[in-house]
Amino acid sequence: MVYATRTEPGTIAPRIIGQAGSTLVGIQVIFNALVAYVDETATARPHIVESLPSLNSDSWRVFPDGRMETTYRLKPGLRWHDGTPASAGDFRFSWQVYTKPEYGISGAPPFHAIDEVVAVDERTVLIRWNRLYADAASLAESHDEFPIVPAHILREPFETLDVDAFVNLPFWNREFIGLGPYRLDRWEAGSFLEGVAFDSYTLGRPKIERVRIVFIEDYNTTLANLLSNQVHVATDNSIALAQIDVIKREASDRLSLLADSGGAWRATVFQLRPEYVSPQSLLDHRVRAALAHAFDKDTLNDGVYFGLYGPADFMVNSQSMFGPAIDRGTIKYPFDPRRSEQLMNEAGLFRSADGFYASDLDGRFTADFKSTASGADVTALAAMASTWRQLGFNVQESIVPVAEARNAELGNTFPGMFTRTSNSSIAAIPGFTTARIPRPENRWIGPNRGGWSSADFDRVAEPFTTTLDTQARADQVTQMARTFTAELPVISQFFLNRPIPYPVELRGPKQGLPVEANWNYNIHEWEFS
């Protein structure tokens, strides 16, 4: 089976440490297995463990002081791709790796809530928590929450190498060893990588013998390969919506379209650090709201994205398990040029003779508008900027070069606005707390790229991860959605519900998956008819 992806991944590990970079969700599932996976019913199922801890049992104990303990039993016969048995010691070692402060993610969930990971015996893992943590059972609220890495390969370099040398080990890419359905067999830089079915995969040996992931930058080339059956699955933005439209109109008898669950969210982030922002008026909520009301989301979706994307008002899709709670809290900013102008006037900016907003204090409002966009997103970037200029905002758009995009500091200190695509799961919400702001001391790693800091949001987001009651969590989601959309650190654009083409002869992909599930979580069951 041949996958196409537009970019070569920096790693196929499920969680990046110590550096900026990318890992492709559609690809990492092929080579990795975690504590749990989420199925088509939005239920967390045990993956590398025999069962998931159950609240108020010996496997999940909550103490009066708010601490917890959870116990996991690894499945018998669990092996790394090189044949070495996986053990509870690997689990403990992984915790030591991910919580090393120099790697920049020790304060991220779930590591910030863990005091200790104990290898009770070869297969039994005990986690001691310093607080309540709602996702303690499955560790699967996001696709990459707590992966384990092989101690027999990484312990010696972890203990002897400096940070840069460790995070740049070939293990993280061309020599990767995981627990997933396919074992990495070959990686030709700039061209492709291949995996071979892993005999000891915990859910059963995959039915398809080999998987090849080819890197194809050109969308039309990917389409041609799909139509000629040289590529079977186009994933991770390897095919544009225009090509999807061609498939729908001309090749529906040969190619099916798997409706992606919408796990990606596209948004325009405002720079809110006073030391970096320009113009300073972006720090005024009214100016940000004016820009939001000047964004014609529906026209952009229809004209550029063929109406295939789902308009977004918040970072989490309302089709998720917390959908009703999100809808209750979200403040919407419909396209309304008159309201946009009113807000700018309230903020002290008025349209001058040249048609652009300006103030007596700061002069003309001028803002950079950056993106790492490609394909249709480049057209969308230009269309957004053009509409804003027509409505009085002197916005100058630009595409960020690849080298700059990989520089974590440059990617977080942009002066104006930056359009990005990121995770849209529930686990993404705490990523906008003050603690997750990228800074020099955490190697500029963190999802809160605009540096937004809200005491009201932090006050609710912190207990969100420690609340065990489902209704109470829903109420917290409502509050966070309200605060986030009221203060407007970003303009939410779309959920990238990009259909994934595959041949009608391929059996196994499931339609109608919930947002929380990965679209190829059951790849080991796929087969050609």
The model's pLDDT over 472-489, given as tens digits with 9 standing for 90+, comes to 999 999 999 999 999 999
pLDDT at 358: 97
Which range has highest mean pLDDT (143-147, 492-496, 497-501)? 492-496
pLDDT at 426: 81
* 142 closest CA partner among 18, 263, 9: 263
pLDDT at residue 18 above 80? no
pLDDT at residue 222 above 70? yes
pLDDT at residue 119 above 90? yes
How far apart, in Å, are the Cα atoms of 19 and each of 23, 25, 187, 494? 12, 17, 21, 27
pLDDT at 309: 87
pLDDT at residue 491 above 90? yes
pLDDT at 20: 47
Q: Percentage of the chain with pLDDT > 70?
A: 97
**Which segments of the chain belong to CATH 3.40.190.10?**
2-31+162-261+499-528
Average pLDDT estimate for 348-356:
96
CATH of region 264-495: 3.10.105.10
pLDDT band at 183 (very low <50, low <70, confident <90, very high): very high
Residue 76's SS3 state is coil
**Which segments of the chain belong to CATH 3.10.105.10?**
264-495
Report the predicted TM-score, pTM, of the whole model to 2 decimal places.
Answer: 0.75
pLDDT at residue 23 above 60? no
**Which segments of the chain belong to CATH 3.90.76.10?**
36-153
pLDDT at 372: 85
Q: Which CATH superfamily is domain 2-31+162-261+499-528 in?
A: Periplasmic binding protein-like II (3.40.190.10)
Mean pLDDT across the chain, nearest whole number?
A: 92
* Assigned token pair, 286: 């009214």
**Rounded (5°) CA angle 42-504-191:** 85
Average pLDDT estimate for 266-281:
97
Average pLDDT estimate for 66-75:
97
Query: Higher model confidence: residue 520 or residue 423?
Result: 520
DSSP 458-524: HHHHHHHTT---HHHHHHHHHHHHHHHHHH-SEEEEEE----EEEETTEE---SS--TTS-TTTTGG
Q: Percentage of the chain with pLDDT > 90?
A: 72
DSSP 355-422: SSEEETTTEE-EEEEEE---THHHHHHHHHHHHHHHTT-EEEEEEPPHHHHT-HHHHH--SSEEEEEE
Class of the domain covering 36-153:
alpha beta
pLDDT at 445: 87
pLDDT at 294: 98
Amino acid letter, 191: S
Contact 94, 84 (CB under 8 A): no
